[in-house]
Chain A
Amino acid sequence: MRVIIVGSGRVGAGLASQLADEGHEVVILDVSTESFRRLAPGFSGQALRGDGTDSSVLERAGAGEAEWFFALTNGDNRNILAAQLARQAFDIPHVLCKINDPLRARAYATLGIDTINRTGMLLDSIGRYMGRPAQAGAADVNVAAVPLAPANAEGMDASPAPGEAIPGVAPALSLVPPPVPTDSSGGR
C-alpha cells in the first residue's frame, strides 16, 4: 500500500515512521531535508526533498500509484492545493488534508475534501477535559484522531464507508456548498 505524506513536521514524520514500521510503502515529502530528522531512526520509507504542491514532484513521488495521501504541512493553503492535486490530477482514492483554520476546514469539507482540523480537535479535547460539551460552532470539525490503523491485521484496508462519521474528520459531503455559518456536525 503506497502512502504519500506531504510535510515532515511532528505529525507527518510521526505518521510516516509508524506506517513504514507497519510495512507500508511510505514516501514523505518536505521542502527542507532538515525536517527529515524527525523521522524515526532506521525509517524504511523514502524521504524526498520537494514541494508537495508541485505536480511534477508528486509524480516523482509515485502519486499515480498511491492509495493514501496526507497533506500535513504547516500551511493550510499548501495542504489544500496539494490535496486537490492528489485528488484531481492523480486520482488518489483517500486524501486527507490538515486545515487549522476551522472556517476553511468546514468550507473544504463541503467541497469534497476530507479535512482534519487541529483547532477544533484541541478545543474539543480541552472541553472534554473540563467535563463539558464542546461549543457548537467553535469546534465543528472535531474530536480525537482519525482511525487510521483499524484493528484488523491488514492495516488500512478498513477505510471509512462514505457518509460514515469519522471522529476528527469532516465528512466530504457534496460539491454543493451550504452557507458558511451552518453547523453541520450536530454540535457534539
Chain B
Amino acid sequence: MFVIVVGGGRIGFYLTKELLAEGHEIVLMEKDPRSAERIRDELGAVVVNRDGCEGIHLAEAGANRASIVAAVTGDDADNLVVCQMAKHHFDVPRTIARVNNPRNAVLFRNLGVDEIISPTRMVLAAIEQDIPVHELLHLANLEGGELELLEAQIAQDSPALGRRPEEIDLPEGCTLFVVIRDDRAQSVRPDTVFMEGDKVIAISRTECESDLRMQLIGRPPEIAST
C-alpha cells in the first residue's frame, strides 16, 4: 500500500518507521529542512523536505496514487488542509488527521476527513478512567469519535436518583441502555428506578456529553480542580 505521511514529528517518524517495517511504500513529508535532514539520516530517501499543504508538493509526492494520506503534524490547521487537498484534489480514498484540540474532531469529520485521531482525548479518557466517582467515564469512542460510550455513577446527590428514564430530561442523541447494579448488568427499562451506586452505561453524541453529565451526575467535571 502507498501511504503519504505528512509531519515528521515523533508520531510521523515512528509511524513511518513501523509502516516501512511492514513493507509498505511510504513518502514522509516534512517542511522543516533540519528535521527532514535528521530523519532522512535514519529513514533514508523516503523523507522529502516538502510542505504537504502545498498542492504542488503533494502532487510531486504522488498523492494521486496514494491509498492513504495521514496528516500528523502538531498543527490542526495544517492537518486539515493536507486532508482536504488530498481528498478533494487527488481523490485519495482515505485521509487521516491528528487533531490536537479535541473540539476540532467534529468539524474535521463534517469536512470529510475519514479518520480522526485525538491524542488529547485519548489521554483525557485514560485520566478519567482513574477518577472513581462524580465523573463520566469514557469507555470508548464510536463512529470515529462522533459518539461516545460513557459510564456515569449515580450518587446521593445525583438528579437522576429515584427517577425513571422518562423522568430524566435527556439531551437528544443520548440513550441510556444498561444499568450495572450489584455487579450485574441489566437493560434500562421504562420502569427502572435509578438507585445510589448504579452505574449507568449510555451512548451519547460527543457534543451532548455535558448535558448528560448534568442530568446523571449533576455537576461539571472536576478534573481542573484535582
CB distance from A69 to the nearest CB of B (A): 15
Question: Is the pair B80, A77 in contact by a Cβ cutoff of 8 Å?
Answer: yes
Residues of B within 8 A of A53 (CB): 76-77
Q: Which of A9-17, A84-92, A120-128, A150-158 contacts B (4 or more CB under 8 A)?
A: A84-92
Q: Which of A40-48, A100-108, A140-148 contacts B (4 or more CB under 8 A)?
A: A100-108
- Residue B84 lies at the interface, judged by CB distance under 8 Å to chain A: yes
CB distance from B205 to the nearest CB of A (A): 14
Question: Is the pair A111, B103 in contact by a Cβ cutoff of 8 Å?
Answer: no
Residues of B within 8 A of A180 (CB): 55, 59, 89
- Residue B156 lies at the interface, judged by CB distance under 8 Å to chain A: no
- Residue B135 lies at the interface, judged by CB distance under 8 Å to chain A: no
- Residue A55 lies at the interface, judged by CB distance under 8 Å to chain B: yes
CB distance from B116 to the nearest CB of A (A): 14
- Residue A81 lies at the interface, judged by CB distance under 8 Å to chain B: yes
Interface size class of A (residues with CB under 8 A): 20 to 34
Residues of A within 8 A of B103 (CB): 54-56
Question: Is the pair B107, A177 in contact by a Cβ cutoff of 8 Å?
Answer: no
Could you tell me which residues of chain A, from 48 to 103, have a CB within 8 Å of some CB in chain B? Answer: 53-56, 75-78, 80-81, 84-85, 88-89, 101, 103
The CA of A112 and the CA of B77, in the complex, are separated in Å by 17
Question: Is the pair A107, B75 in contact by a Cβ cutoff of 8 Å?
Answer: no
* Interface majority SS (helix, strand, loop, mixed), chain B: helix
The CA of A89 and the CA of B107, in the complex, are separated in Å by 7
Q: Please name the residue on chain B nearest to A180 by beta carbon.
A: B89
Number of A-B contacts (CB under 8 A): 60
- Residue B54 lies at the interface, judged by CB distance under 8 Å to chain A: yes
- Residue B78 lies at the interface, judged by CB distance under 8 Å to chain A: yes
- Residue B34 lies at the interface, judged by CB distance under 8 Å to chain A: no
The CA of A154 and the CA of B76, in the complex, are separated in Å by 38
Q: A54-B101, A103-B54 are in contact. Are A77 and B89 (CB under 8 A)?
A: no
Q: Please name the residue on chain B nearest to A53 by beta carbon.
A: B77
Question: Is the pair B107, A85 in contact by a Cβ cutoff of 8 Å?
Answer: yes
- Residue B111 lies at the interface, judged by CB distance under 8 Å to chain A: yes
Q: Please name the residue on chain B nearest to A80 by beta carbon.
A: B81
The CA of A88 and the CA of B202, in the complex, are separated in Å by 27
- Residue B104 lies at the interface, judged by CB distance under 8 Å to chain A: yes
Residues of A within 8 A of B80 (CB): 77, 80-81, 84
The CA of A53 and the CA of B80, in the complex, are separated in Å by 12
Question: Is the pair B88, A77 in contact by a Cβ cutoff of 8 Å?
Answer: no
The CA of A103 and the CA of B84, in the complex, are separated in Å by 13
Question: Is the pair B77, A77 in contact by a Cβ cutoff of 8 Å?
Answer: yes
The CA of A33 and the CA of B106, in the complex, are separated in Å by 30
Q: A55-B103, A84-B111 are in contact. Are A104 and B77 (CB under 8 A)?
A: no
Question: Is the pair A80, B55 in contact by a Cβ cutoff of 8 Å?
Answer: no
Could you tell me which residues of chain A, from 162 to 188, have a CB within 8 Å of some CB in chain B? Answer: 177, 179-180
CB distance from A7 to the nearest CB of B (A): 13
* New A-B pairs, 17, CB < 8 Å, besides A84-B80, A84-B107: A53-B77, A77-B53, A77-B78, A77-B81, A80-B80, A81-B77, A81-B81, A81-B104, A88-B110, A88-B111, A103-B55, A107-B55, A107-B85, A107-B88, A107-B89, A110-B88, A180-B89
The 8 closest A-B pairs by CB, nearest first: A77-B77, A81-B77, A177-B88, A103-B55, A77-B81, A78-B77, A55-B103, A180-B89
